[in-house]
Copies of this chain bind each other. A is one copy, B any other.
Amino acid sequence: MIDIALLGTGGMMPLPERFLTSLLVRKRGRMMLIDSGEGTQVTMKMLGWGFKTIDLICYTHFHADHISGLPGLLLTIGNSDRTEPLTIAGPEGVKKIAEGLRLIAPELPFAINYIELKEKYENINISEFDLKAMQVDHRISCYGYSLDIPRAGKFDPQKAMELGIPKELWSVLQKGETAEYNGQKYTCDTVLGAPRKGIKLCYCTDTRPTADMPDFFRDADLLVYEGLYGDDEKLEKAVKHKHSVYREAANIAKAADVKELWLTHFSPAMTDPEEFLSVAADIFPNTVVGTDRLTKTIKFEER
Protein backbone atom coordinates (compact mmCIF):
# COMPACT_ATOMS: atom_id res chain seq x y z
CA MET A 1 0.00 0.00 0.00
CA ILE A 2 1.21 3.53 -0.76
CA ASP A 3 -0.19 6.97 -0.04
CA ILE A 4 0.30 9.64 -2.66
CA ALA A 5 -0.10 13.42 -2.35
CA LEU A 6 0.19 15.84 -5.24
CA LEU A 7 1.59 18.77 -3.24
CA GLY A 8 1.13 21.40 -5.91
CA THR A 9 -0.01 21.76 -9.50
CA GLY A 10 1.71 24.90 -10.78
CA GLY A 11 4.45 25.32 -13.35
CA MET A 12 6.97 28.13 -13.86
CA MET A 13 6.17 30.20 -10.77
CA PRO A 14 4.30 29.76 -7.50
CA LEU A 15 0.97 31.56 -7.32
CA PRO A 16 -1.10 32.73 -4.34
CA GLU A 17 -3.57 29.89 -4.90
CA ARG A 18 -1.30 27.30 -6.54
CA PHE A 19 1.87 25.70 -5.23
CA LEU A 20 4.52 24.38 -7.60
CA THR A 21 4.23 20.79 -8.80
CA SER A 22 5.68 18.07 -6.61
CA LEU A 23 4.69 14.62 -5.41
CA LEU A 24 5.02 13.02 -1.99
CA VAL A 25 4.81 9.24 -1.59
CA ARG A 26 4.53 7.35 1.71
CA LYS A 27 5.19 3.63 2.08
CA ARG A 28 5.39 1.72 5.36
CA GLY A 29 6.02 4.94 7.27
CA ARG A 30 8.82 6.22 5.05
CA MET A 31 8.50 8.98 2.47
CA MET A 32 9.98 10.04 -0.83
CA LEU A 33 9.48 13.34 -2.61
CA ILE A 34 9.77 14.22 -6.28
CA ASP A 35 10.77 17.86 -6.86
CA SER A 36 10.59 20.74 -4.38
CA GLY A 37 10.03 24.20 -5.81
CA GLU A 38 9.60 27.44 -3.88
CA GLY A 39 6.90 26.79 -1.27
CA THR A 40 6.83 22.98 -1.33
CA GLN A 41 7.56 22.87 2.40
CA VAL A 42 4.51 25.06 3.04
CA THR A 43 2.06 22.82 1.19
CA MET A 44 3.72 19.83 2.93
CA LYS A 45 3.02 21.51 6.23
CA MET A 46 -0.61 21.99 5.20
CA LEU A 47 -0.80 18.30 4.24
CA GLY A 48 0.42 17.26 7.67
CA TRP A 49 2.42 14.10 6.92
CA GLY A 50 5.50 15.52 8.64
CA PHE A 51 9.07 15.94 7.42
CA LYS A 52 11.22 13.57 9.44
CA THR A 53 10.76 10.37 7.45
CA ILE A 54 11.74 11.67 4.01
CA ASP A 55 14.52 9.31 2.94
CA LEU A 56 14.74 10.25 -0.73
CA ILE A 57 14.23 13.39 -2.80
CA CYS A 58 14.27 12.90 -6.57
CA TYR A 59 14.54 15.82 -8.98
CA THR A 60 13.19 15.67 -12.51
CA HIS A 61 15.47 18.53 -13.61
CA PHE A 62 17.08 21.74 -12.40
CA HIS A 63 14.76 24.51 -13.46
CA ALA A 64 14.07 26.75 -10.47
CA ASP A 65 10.37 25.88 -10.21
CA HIS A 66 11.35 22.26 -9.49
CA ILE A 67 14.22 22.69 -7.03
CA SER A 68 14.35 26.20 -5.53
CA GLY A 69 12.66 25.05 -2.32
CA LEU A 70 15.48 22.65 -1.49
CA PRO A 71 17.48 24.70 1.06
CA GLY A 72 14.42 25.68 3.11
CA LEU A 73 13.08 22.15 2.97
CA LEU A 74 16.38 20.71 4.22
CA LEU A 75 16.37 23.14 7.15
CA THR A 76 12.80 22.21 8.02
CA ILE A 77 13.66 18.50 7.82
CA GLY A 78 16.58 19.33 10.10
CA ASN A 79 14.19 21.01 12.54
CA SER A 80 12.21 17.75 12.68
CA ASP A 81 15.12 16.11 14.52
CA ARG A 82 16.17 13.92 11.64
CA THR A 83 19.71 12.65 11.96
CA GLU A 84 19.63 9.76 9.46
CA PRO A 85 21.24 10.44 6.08
CA LEU A 86 19.01 11.61 3.26
CA THR A 87 19.50 10.80 -0.42
CA ILE A 88 19.06 13.31 -3.22
CA ALA A 89 18.83 11.94 -6.76
CA GLY A 90 18.65 13.82 -10.02
CA PRO A 91 20.24 14.38 -13.42
CA GLU A 92 24.02 14.61 -13.63
CA GLY A 93 25.18 17.70 -11.78
CA VAL A 94 22.71 17.30 -8.91
CA LYS A 95 25.44 17.52 -6.29
CA LYS A 96 26.87 20.75 -7.71
CA ILE A 97 23.42 22.35 -7.95
CA ALA A 98 22.32 21.21 -4.49
CA GLU A 99 25.56 22.30 -2.87
CA GLY A 100 25.22 25.71 -4.56
CA LEU A 101 21.76 26.07 -3.05
CA ARG A 102 23.01 24.79 0.28
CA LEU A 103 25.39 27.74 0.70
CA ILE A 104 22.49 29.28 2.65
CA ALA A 105 21.79 26.10 4.65
CA PRO A 106 25.29 24.88 5.47
CA GLU A 107 24.59 23.29 8.85
CA LEU A 108 22.26 20.30 8.86
CA PRO A 109 21.99 17.55 11.48
CA PHE A 110 22.04 14.83 8.80
CA ALA A 111 24.32 13.81 5.94
CA ILE A 112 23.28 13.99 2.29
CA ASN A 113 24.12 11.31 -0.26
CA TYR A 114 23.78 12.08 -3.94
CA ILE A 115 22.79 9.89 -6.87
CA GLU A 116 23.67 11.32 -10.29
CA LEU A 117 21.60 9.99 -13.18
CA LYS A 118 23.58 9.76 -16.39
CA GLU A 119 22.19 6.92 -18.50
CA LYS A 120 18.94 6.88 -20.43
CA TYR A 121 17.58 4.31 -17.95
CA GLU A 122 18.66 4.10 -14.33
CA ASN A 123 17.56 2.33 -11.15
CA ILE A 124 17.35 3.83 -7.68
CA ASN A 125 16.92 1.71 -4.55
CA ILE A 126 16.72 3.72 -1.36
CA SER A 127 14.82 2.88 1.81
CA GLU A 128 11.39 1.51 0.84
CA PHE A 129 11.61 2.81 -2.69
CA ASP A 130 12.66 0.92 -5.82
CA LEU A 131 12.48 3.34 -8.70
CA LYS A 132 13.21 3.29 -12.37
CA ALA A 133 14.26 6.58 -13.95
CA MET A 134 14.04 7.34 -17.66
CA GLN A 135 15.52 10.37 -19.36
CA VAL A 136 12.85 12.31 -21.22
CA ASP A 137 12.90 15.27 -23.63
CA HIS A 138 13.13 18.76 -22.10
CA ARG A 139 15.43 21.74 -22.72
CA ILE A 140 17.87 20.40 -20.13
CA SER A 141 18.41 16.84 -18.87
CA CYS A 142 15.15 15.68 -17.28
CA TYR A 143 13.96 12.33 -15.89
CA GLY A 144 10.61 10.64 -15.41
CA TYR A 145 10.22 8.19 -12.54
CA SER A 146 8.40 4.90 -12.01
CA LEU A 147 7.91 3.44 -8.56
CA ASP A 148 7.31 -0.30 -8.74
CA ILE A 149 6.16 -2.41 -5.82
CA PRO A 150 6.15 -6.07 -6.79
CA ARG A 151 3.89 -8.54 -5.04
CA ALA A 152 4.73 -12.18 -4.45
CA GLY A 153 2.35 -14.97 -5.49
CA LYS A 154 -0.30 -16.28 -3.13
CA PHE A 155 0.89 -18.60 -0.37
CA ASP A 156 -0.47 -22.13 -0.54
CA PRO A 157 -0.75 -23.54 3.04
CA GLN A 158 -1.96 -26.94 1.77
CA LYS A 159 1.24 -27.34 -0.23
CA ALA A 160 3.41 -26.09 2.64
CA MET A 161 1.90 -28.77 4.87
CA GLU A 162 2.37 -31.49 2.26
CA LEU A 163 6.04 -30.50 1.94
CA GLY A 164 6.42 -30.55 5.71
CA ILE A 165 7.65 -26.99 5.95
CA PRO A 166 7.82 -25.88 9.61
CA LYS A 167 5.10 -23.34 10.44
CA GLU A 168 7.72 -20.96 11.86
CA LEU A 169 8.94 -20.36 8.32
CA TRP A 170 5.62 -19.72 6.64
CA SER A 171 5.57 -15.94 7.18
CA VAL A 172 9.08 -15.61 5.75
CA LEU A 173 8.29 -17.66 2.66
CA GLN A 174 5.01 -15.77 2.31
CA LYS A 175 7.02 -12.58 1.74
CA GLY A 176 8.86 -14.25 -1.13
CA GLU A 177 12.05 -14.78 0.84
CA THR A 178 14.22 -17.86 1.50
CA ALA A 179 14.32 -19.54 4.93
CA GLU A 180 16.59 -21.97 6.77
CA TYR A 181 15.64 -24.37 9.55
CA ASN A 182 17.87 -27.00 11.20
CA GLY A 183 20.36 -26.65 8.38
CA GLN A 184 17.76 -27.19 5.67
CA LYS A 185 16.98 -24.47 3.13
CA TYR A 186 13.45 -23.73 1.98
CA THR A 187 12.70 -21.55 -1.05
CA CYS A 188 9.44 -19.72 -1.53
CA ASP A 189 8.81 -20.87 -5.09
CA THR A 190 7.58 -24.23 -3.85
CA VAL A 191 4.72 -22.68 -1.86
CA LEU A 192 3.92 -19.49 -3.75
CA GLY A 193 1.72 -19.14 -6.80
CA ALA A 194 2.66 -16.92 -9.75
CA PRO A 195 3.63 -13.32 -8.81
CA ARG A 196 0.54 -11.17 -8.44
CA LYS A 197 -0.02 -7.68 -9.78
CA GLY A 198 1.90 -5.14 -7.72
CA ILE A 199 1.58 -1.36 -7.55
CA LYS A 200 3.04 1.01 -10.12
CA LEU A 201 3.17 4.79 -9.87
CA CYS A 202 4.65 7.00 -12.59
CA TYR A 203 5.57 10.68 -12.52
CA CYS A 204 6.73 12.72 -15.47
CA THR A 205 6.77 16.45 -16.06
CA ASP A 206 8.47 19.04 -18.26
CA THR A 207 8.93 17.00 -21.40
CA ARG A 208 7.73 16.40 -24.92
CA PRO A 209 6.05 13.01 -25.35
CA THR A 210 8.60 10.35 -26.33
CA ALA A 211 8.23 7.03 -28.12
CA ASP A 212 9.37 4.99 -25.12
CA MET A 213 6.87 6.46 -22.67
CA PRO A 214 4.06 3.93 -23.26
CA ASP A 215 6.39 1.05 -22.32
CA PHE A 216 7.82 2.91 -19.34
CA PHE A 217 4.38 3.80 -17.95
CA ARG A 218 2.76 0.45 -19.03
CA ASP A 219 -0.17 -0.63 -16.80
CA ALA A 220 0.59 1.95 -14.08
CA ASP A 221 -2.07 2.35 -11.42
CA LEU A 222 -1.51 6.09 -11.62
CA LEU A 223 0.34 8.30 -14.05
CA VAL A 224 1.03 11.88 -12.94
CA TYR A 225 1.92 13.79 -16.10
CA GLU A 226 2.25 17.41 -17.09
CA GLY A 227 -0.43 19.36 -18.87
CA LEU A 228 1.09 22.82 -19.21
CA TYR A 229 -1.81 23.88 -21.41
CA GLY A 230 -5.30 22.51 -21.89
CA ASP A 231 -6.02 24.47 -25.04
CA ASP A 232 -4.82 22.69 -28.20
CA GLU A 233 -4.00 26.07 -29.70
CA LYS A 234 -1.08 26.34 -27.29
CA LEU A 235 0.58 23.23 -28.74
CA GLU A 236 3.13 25.23 -30.73
CA LYS A 237 4.21 27.06 -27.59
CA ALA A 238 4.48 23.75 -25.71
CA VAL A 239 6.61 22.25 -28.48
CA LYS A 240 8.89 25.28 -28.53
CA HIS A 241 9.60 25.10 -24.79
CA LYS A 242 9.58 21.28 -24.72
CA HIS A 243 6.43 20.76 -22.69
CA SER A 244 3.24 18.72 -23.19
CA VAL A 245 -0.44 19.64 -23.46
CA TYR A 246 -3.53 17.83 -22.08
CA ARG A 247 -4.22 16.00 -25.34
CA GLU A 248 -0.73 14.54 -25.44
CA ALA A 249 -0.90 13.44 -21.81
CA ALA A 250 -4.17 11.63 -22.50
CA ASN A 251 -2.76 9.94 -25.61
CA ILE A 252 0.19 8.64 -23.60
CA ALA A 253 -2.06 7.42 -20.77
CA LYS A 254 -4.17 5.57 -23.33
CA ALA A 255 -1.19 4.07 -25.16
CA ALA A 256 0.36 2.93 -21.87
CA ASP A 257 -2.97 1.51 -20.69
CA VAL A 258 -2.65 3.09 -17.25
CA LYS A 259 -5.55 3.03 -14.82
CA GLU A 260 -5.70 6.72 -13.99
CA LEU A 261 -4.13 9.96 -15.17
CA TRP A 262 -3.53 13.05 -13.05
CA LEU A 263 -2.69 16.26 -14.92
CA THR A 264 -0.42 18.83 -13.28
CA HIS A 265 2.20 21.58 -13.88
CA PHE A 266 -0.30 24.09 -15.20
CA SER A 267 0.80 27.33 -16.83
CA PRO A 268 0.22 30.42 -14.63
CA ALA A 269 -1.73 31.79 -17.63
CA MET A 270 -4.29 28.97 -17.25
CA THR A 271 -6.54 30.28 -14.49
CA ASP A 272 -8.98 27.35 -14.53
CA PRO A 273 -7.23 24.07 -15.46
CA GLU A 274 -10.53 22.16 -15.00
CA GLU A 275 -12.00 24.07 -17.95
CA PHE A 276 -10.14 21.87 -20.43
CA LEU A 277 -10.77 18.48 -18.77
CA SER A 278 -12.82 17.19 -21.71
CA VAL A 279 -9.88 17.65 -24.11
CA ALA A 280 -8.13 14.86 -22.20
CA ALA A 281 -11.13 12.88 -20.95
CA ASP A 282 -12.52 12.41 -24.45
CA ILE A 283 -9.35 10.42 -25.18
CA PHE A 284 -8.67 8.93 -21.76
CA PRO A 285 -11.82 8.98 -19.59
CA ASN A 286 -10.18 8.35 -16.23
CA THR A 287 -8.38 11.71 -16.24
CA VAL A 288 -8.26 13.92 -13.17
CA VAL A 289 -7.25 17.57 -13.39
CA GLY A 290 -4.90 17.82 -10.41
CA THR A 291 -5.50 20.11 -7.46
CA ASP A 292 -3.10 21.05 -4.67
CA ARG A 293 -2.88 18.30 -2.04
CA LEU A 294 -4.97 15.81 -3.99
CA THR A 295 -4.31 12.49 -2.27
CA LYS A 296 -4.85 8.83 -3.08
CA THR A 297 -4.12 5.49 -1.47
CA ILE A 298 -3.25 2.59 -3.73
CA LYS A 299 -3.59 -0.89 -2.24
CA PHE A 300 -2.73 -4.30 -3.60
CA GLU A 301 -5.74 -5.72 -5.39
CA GLU A 302 -7.79 -8.30 -3.46
CA ARG A 303 -6.90 -11.71 -4.82
Which residues of A are interface residues toward B (Cβ below 8 A)?
Answer: 12-16, 37-39, 41-42, 45-46, 62-65, 67-69, 71-72, 75-76, 79, 96-97, 99-101, 103-105
List the B residue with the shortest CB-CB distance to A103. B100
A96-B104 CB under 8 A given contacts A16-B45, A16-B46: no
- The interface residues of chain B lying within 8 Å CB-to-CB of A41 are 13-14, 38
Minimum C-beta distance from A19 to chain B (A): 9
From A42, A67, A76, A99, residue with most partner B Cβ within 10 Å = A42
Q: Which listed residue (B14, B42, B71, B96) contacts A68, Cβ 8 A?
A: B71
A15-B42 CB under 8 A given contacts A68-B71, A104-B67, A104-B101: yes
B13, A79: Cβ atoms under 8 Å? yes
3 closest A-B pairs by CB: A100-B100, A64-B104, A100-B103
- The interface residues of chain B lying within 8 Å CB-to-CB of A105 are 64
A96, B103: Cβ atoms under 8 Å? yes
- The interface residues of chain B lying within 8 Å CB-to-CB of A72 are 13-14, 37-38, 64-65, 68
- The interface residues of chain B lying within 8 Å CB-to-CB of A75 are 13, 64-65
List the B residue with the shortest CB-CB distance to A67. B104
- The interface residues of chain B lying within 8 Å CB-to-CB of A39 are 14, 38-39, 42
B42, A16: Cβ atoms under 8 Å? yes
From A41, A68, A69, A75, residue with most partner B Cβ within 10 Å = A68
Instruction: Report Cα–Cα, A103/B42, bound state, in Å.
Output: 23
Instruction: Report Cα–Cα, A92/B41, bound state, in Å.
Output: 29
B76, A71: Cβ atoms under 8 Å? no
Instruction: Report Cα–Cα, A46/B39, bound state, in Å.
Output: 15
Q: Which listed residue (B15, B42, B65) contacts A14, Cβ 8 A?
A: B42
Instruction: Report Cα–Cα, A76/B65, bound state, in Å.
Output: 11
- The interface residues of chain B lying within 8 Å CB-to-CB of A71 are 64, 68
Q: Which listed residue (B38, B79, B103) contacts A69, Cβ 8 A?
A: B38
Q: A38-B69, A64-B72, A96-B103 are in contact. List 17 more A-B contacts (CB 8 A).
A: A13-B41, A13-B79, A14-B41, A16-B45, A38-B38, A38-B39, A38-B68, A39-B42, A62-B104, A63-B104, A64-B71, A64-B75, A64-B104, A65-B72, A99-B100, A100-B100, A101-B104
- The interface residues of chain B lying within 8 Å CB-to-CB of A46 are 16
Instruction: Report Cα–Cα, A187/B79, bound state, in Å.
Output: 61
